[in-house]
A and B are shown apart, each in its own frame.
Chain A
Amino acid sequence: MGRFIARRLLSAVPVLLGILLLVFSIARLIPGDPCLLALGERATEELCDAYNERFGLDEPIVTQLGIYLGDVAQGDLGDSLRFSKPVTTLLKERLPTTVELTLAALFIAVLIGIPLGVMSAYRHNSKLDVVTMVFANTGVSMPVFWLGLMLQYLFAVVLQDTPLFLPPSGRLKAGMIPEPFYEKWGLPEIGIFEFISNMEILNGMLTLNWEVFWSATSHMILPALALATIPMAIIARMTRSSLLDVLGLDYVRTARAKGLKENVVILRHALRNALLPVITVIGLSLGALLGGAILTETIFNLSGVGKTLFDAIEARDYPVVQGFTLFIAFVFVLVNLLVDVLYTYLDPRVRVS
C-alpha cells in the first residue's frame, strides 16, 4: 500500500511540472500588454518601463520562468497586477466561496444521485426506472448556465411572494457584514482562521449568528443546485449500471438464498461493491464542478475562484491567471490521486493486480 502511494505520488511529479510550464507559457501567450491594461490611459512609455521593471516583465522569458519556479516552490504566487495584493491573499479571500459552492453541489449530487440510481436499479425497467433515467439523461445534457438563469427566474420571480423565494445572486444580503468567528472567540487573526471565516455558512454557524447563516445558505442553494445537476445525473446513471452489474453476481444470489430481506441484500451486500466505480465518477466530477464554477459564479455573481479567474483572464492579470489555474490544476491532480488511493484501499483486488 505504502509503495503504491509512493509510486503514484512520484508519477504525479512530471505532470505537475508540465502543468507549471504550460500555465506559465499560456499566461505569457495571452495577447495584450498588461501595463496598458493596468494603467489605462495614464500609461506612458516611462511609466510602463517602470511598471515592467517592477513586476519583472522586462526580463527574458527564461529568466522569468526561473524566477517563477523558484517563487512557486516557496509558496509565492506573485502579486495581482489589478488588486495590488499577493495572489495567495486573493486566493484566501476567494477560495472559500468556491469551496462552499463545490462542496454543497457535490453534497446535493451524491445525496440525490445515489438513491436515485439505487431505486432505478432496484425497480429495473419499471416506470420509476424510466422516469429516473429520462431525468438523468436530461440532466447531463443541460447547459449549467441556462439552468442557473432558469432557477433564478423560477425562485426569484415566479415564486417571489411565496416562502419559497430564494435570492438570485450575491453571497449575503446587501449590507450584511458578519463578524468573523475568531474575533468573537478572541482568537488571533491568522491565515487559516481568516480562510474559515470567509466560508460564510460555516462562519454563521460558528458565531451562532443564524441570520447570517440563513442568508449565506439561501444565497448558496440555487448556484449549488445548478452546479449539482450534471454530476447528480452522472452519479445516478453510474450507480444504476454498477448496481445492476453487481446484482447479477453469485454472492448476491447467495445472500438472497440465505433468506435476507431484499433491502439488506441491496444496501448491505450489493451497494458496497457497486459504489466503487461511483467513487471514481465522484472524483472525476470535481473537474466538471470546478469548470462549471466559472459559469455558475459568473451567473450568480459570486466572487469565487472561477469568476475571479475569468475576470483575470479578461484583464490580463498574469499572476492571478497563473496562480489560480495552477492551484485548480494541483487540486485536480491531488483529488485524482486521492481517488486512486481510496480505490485501492476500498478494493483489495486493485492492490493485488
Chain B
Amino acid sequence: MTDLTVDINPLEVSQSSSGGLGINLVKELFRKRAAVVGAVMLGILVFIALFAPLISPYDPTEVLLSTEGVQPRESPCIHILGCDSEQPQHILGIDGNGRDVLSRIFYGARVSLTAGVAAVTFAVLVGVVVGLIAGFFGGWIDNVLMRLMDVLLAFPSLLLAIFIVTVFGRGLTNAVLAITVVTIPGYARVVRSSVLTVRESDFVKADRVLGVSTFRLLTRRILPNSLTPLVVQATLGIASAVLEIAALSFLGLGVQPPQAEWGSMLASERNQVFTAPHLVFFPGIAIMWNVLAFNLLGDGLRDAMDPRLNR
C-alpha cells in the first residue's frame, strides 16, 4: 500500500491556529495594501477630528475681517511658499465670511466622522433586528417586513433622505436620521440572508432540540455567525453615509451655518467657483478623503474575510 501520510509539523499547525479570528483578520488585513492605505487615511482623519481644537490655527467660526485685516475669499497664504511673512498665514485661504478654511476643515472632520458612524450604527441596529426577525420567523412576518424594505429600496436613497429631512426639519440630527432610515433595508437584507443559511445548520437545529430559547438562539448562535458580511457592509456603508450627509448639507438640508461642515462649506461658496475655486476644492477633497478611507478599509475587510477572494 502506498503511504498516503503527509508530513505535518505540529508546531506549525498550532501556531497558525492560535491567533483566533480577530488576530487572523488583522493579519490578513495588513497584507492588503489598499486596506492599509485606508486605515492610515482614517487614522489621520480621526487624529484631526480628536485634536481639532489643538491643531486648528483659528476658531472655525471666528470672523477675521476686523482682527487681522484679511479680505473675504483671500487665496491661501503659506509662509514657506513665499507668502509675505507680514501677512497672517492661512494655509487654505479665507472663506466668504472671513473665516480660516483650514480650521473649518479640521472641525468639519468631527461632524463628518461622527455623523457617518452614527447613521450607520443606528441603521445596523435596526437592520439587524429586522433581518433577524424576518429571517428567523419567516412566513408572513418575513413577507411584511421585507416588502416594507422593498418599498424603502424603491426610492433613490438621496431622494428619500431629502423627503425625510423636509418632513422633520433641517439640521444635522435629522439628516443622520434620514440616512439611517434609507440604509436600514440594506443591512436587514444582509442579516436576513445569512440568518436563512445559519438557521438550517446542524448546530442551530441541535440547540433547538435541546430547548434553547429563541432569544438566546438569535443572539448567541445566529447573530455571531451572520456578522461577517454585516461588518463589511457597514464599513462600506459609512462611506456612502458620509457622501449622502454631505450631499444633504450641500442642498442646505443638513448642517446649518455657522457650524463647519464640508458639504455646507462647498454649498456656501459654490457660486464663487469661478473666482475662488480653492474654497470649493478643499472641502471636496476632505469629503473624498473620508469616503475613500472607509471604502478602502471596507474592501480590504471583505477580501480578508473571504478567503476565496484571495488574489
* A contact residues vs B (CB 8 Å cutoff): 14-15, 18-19, 22, 26, 29-31, 124, 133, 137-138, 140-147, 149-150, 152-153, 156-157, 168, 244, 287-288, 290-292, 294-295, 298-299, 309-310, 313, 325, 328-329, 332-333
Contacts and interface: CB of A to CB of B under 8 A. Distances in A.
Contacts of A144: 247
B266 A145 contact: yes
B284 A150 contact: yes
A31 B159 contact: no
Interface stretch (B55-63, B196-204, B288-296): B288-296
A171 B93 CA distance: 34
Interface of B: 34, 147-148, 150-151, 154-159, 162-164, 166-167, 169, 239, 243, 246-247, 250-251, 263, 266, 270, 273-274, 277, 280-281, 283-284, 287-288, 291-292, 295-296, 299, 311
B250 A145 contact: yes
A288 B161 CA distance: 13
A61 to B, nearest CB: 15
A287 B150 contact: no
Contact of A328 (B159, B281, B299): B159
B150 A146 contact: no
Instruction: Identify the 5 closest CB pairs spanning chains A and B, nearest first.
Output: A146-B284, A291-B156, A291-B158, A18-B151, A141-B291
B262 to A, nearest CB: 9
A149 B159 contact: no
A352 B295 CA distance: 36
A133 B38 CA distance: 14
Contact of A325 (B159, B251, B291, B299): B159
A322 B247 CA distance: 22
Given A138-B288, A313-B166, A150 B155 contact: no
B250 A294 contact: no
A329 B155 CA distance: 5
A287 B155 CA distance: 7
B311 A143 contact: no
Contacts of B151: 15, 18-19, 22
B156 A152 contact: no
A332 B166 contact: no
11 contacts: A15-B154, A18-B154, A26-B164, A26-B167, A30-B167, A31-B167, A152-B273, A287-B155, A295-B158, A328-B155, A329-B154
A146 B266 contact: yes
Nearest to A22: B151
Contacts of B281: 150
Contacts of A124: 311
